[in-house]
Amino acid sequence: MSKLVTIYGGSGFVGRYIARRMAAEGWRVRVAVRRPNEAMFVRPYGVVGQVEPILCNIRDDASVAAVMHGADAVVNCVGVLNELGKNAFDAVQADGAERIARLAAAHGVDRMVHISAIGADLEADSEYARTKAQGEAGVLQHMPNAVILRPSIIFGTEDQFFNRFAGMTRISPFLPLVGADTKFQPVFVDDVAHAAVKGVLGAAPSGVYELGGPETKSFRSLMQQMLDVIHRRRIIIGMPFWAAKIMAGVLDVAKFVSFQLFPNNILTRDQLKNLRRDNVVEKDAKGFADLGIEPATLESVLPEYLWKFRPSGQYDDIQNSASNLRI
């Protein structure tokens, strides 16, 4: 019988790519999610019955254990960028990660891969970064041979980074950026999935790996590259941190007084703290080279999914070519 992997958050941005790769490796895949009916798109990743979404609440021991039953490996992709309802940073990224590792050890699961983030730090002033580090500590406490992956900002077809800002160019002549000089090392989502699969298959030694793409650029430079890809000209405005702090504070208050009916997906005070620090791989950290993976460049991937934001969409190149013809 083929082996079984349970992927917590397997229908999310990163998880779906891991699920697809694990199915291609011949494994049975359980995609553990809060809303299985919204994750049916993962089923065609394999043959009939190979990939199945299943209900799981990462905040509940019994629920986590039930979807883990019989698994040879587990992958945790669950994380939140913005707290909403009961899905707080500590409940999901610290307690949830520790819960999966604790139950995996109790059930005799062979391998665990945990998706964390660059910047995870127990001493960080950001609750996001601090709970990421707490989650790592909880994982290693129970599964000391786990593979922990810390990616920089992740890009790909379904990302909420380039897609978000490219969408803004449709309605505004300006691109306001907080932390315009902050450096990032964007990494392609399928390269992160490739690294995770190596961890599941035992092809990667245990430990922490920081994953960054081949290019390190400032936030401003990344937006300029995006504008070049979508053939648009926009004015990039660097917003000072003092102004951004006021804005984030107002938005967080609006979220609180509205009882989270306004979720504040724009800018939070915690996100602002992270934007003050560069999001790049440490010089002495293990990374893609240690995994035998050559990460994709932005130039090779961005045009494949950002073309829809061009003035004429898929016909933009044809239109520009035709405009150069002389009759």
- The mean pLDDT value for 313-326 works out to 69
pLDDT digits 0-9 by tens, 208-263: 999 999 999 999 999 999 999 999 999 999 999 999 999 999 999 999 999 999 99
Distance CA 225, CA 209 (A): 27
- Max CA pair span of the chain: 76
| 182, 218 contact by CB (below 8 A) | yes
What local confidence, expressed as pLDDT, does residue 325 receive? 63
Report which of residues 167 and 312 the model is more confident about: 167
Is residue 225 within 8 Å of residue 298, measured between CB atoms? Answer: yes
pLDDT at 315: 74
Contact 128, 81 (CB under 8 A): yes
pLDDT at 322: 65
pLDDT exceeds 60 at position 327: no
Burial track 232-255 (b if 16+ CB lie within 10 A, e otherwise): bebebebeeeeebeebbeebbeeb
Strands 4-8 and 187-188: unpaired
Give the pLDDT confidence of 7-66 residue by residue, as tens digits: 999 999 999 999 999 999 999 999 999 999 999 999 999 999 999 999 999 999 999 999
Angle at 152 between CA 146 and CA 155, to 5 degrees: 110
pLDDT at 313: 83
Give the model confidence (pLDDT) of 50-103 as tens digits: 999 999 999 999 999 999 999 999 999 999 999 999 999 999 999 999 999 999
The CATH superfamily label for domain 4-156+186-214+279-295 reads NAD(P)-binding Rossmann-like Domain (3.40.50.720)
For range 299-311, the mean pLDDT: 97
Residue pointed to by tokens 């939140």: 80
Q: CA dihedral in degrees (44, 50, 51, 52; nearest 10)?
A: 110
Find where tokens 């990667």 sit: 204
Place of tokens 């992997």: 5
In 3-state terms, what secondary structure has residue 92?
helix
Which DSSP letter does residue 280 get? -
Q: How confident is the model at residue 148 (pLDDT cuts 50, 70, 90)?
A: very high
For all residues of the chain together, what is the average pLDDT? 95
Instruction: Identify the pLDDT of residue 314.
Output: 77
E strands in 34-104: 51-55, 73-76
What are the beta bridge partners of residue 286? 209
Long-range contacts of 266-270 (CB under 8 A, 24+ apart): 267/178, 268/82, 269/245, 270/89, 270/126, 270/127, 270/128
Could you tell me the pLDDT band of residue 132, with boundaries at 50, 70 and 90? Answer: very high
Question: Sheet of 51-55: strands edge to edge?
Answer: 51-55, 28-33, 4-8, 73-76, 111-115, 147-151, 207-211
Average pLDDT over residues 173-182: 97
Kindly tell me if the per-residue pLDDT of 175 is higher than 70. Answer: yes
Would the pLDDT of 181 be above 90?
A: yes
Q: Are 100 and 136 in contact (CB under 8 A)?
A: no
* Burial (0-12, 13-18, 19+ Cβ within 10 Å), 209: buried
* pLDDT attached to residue 1: 67
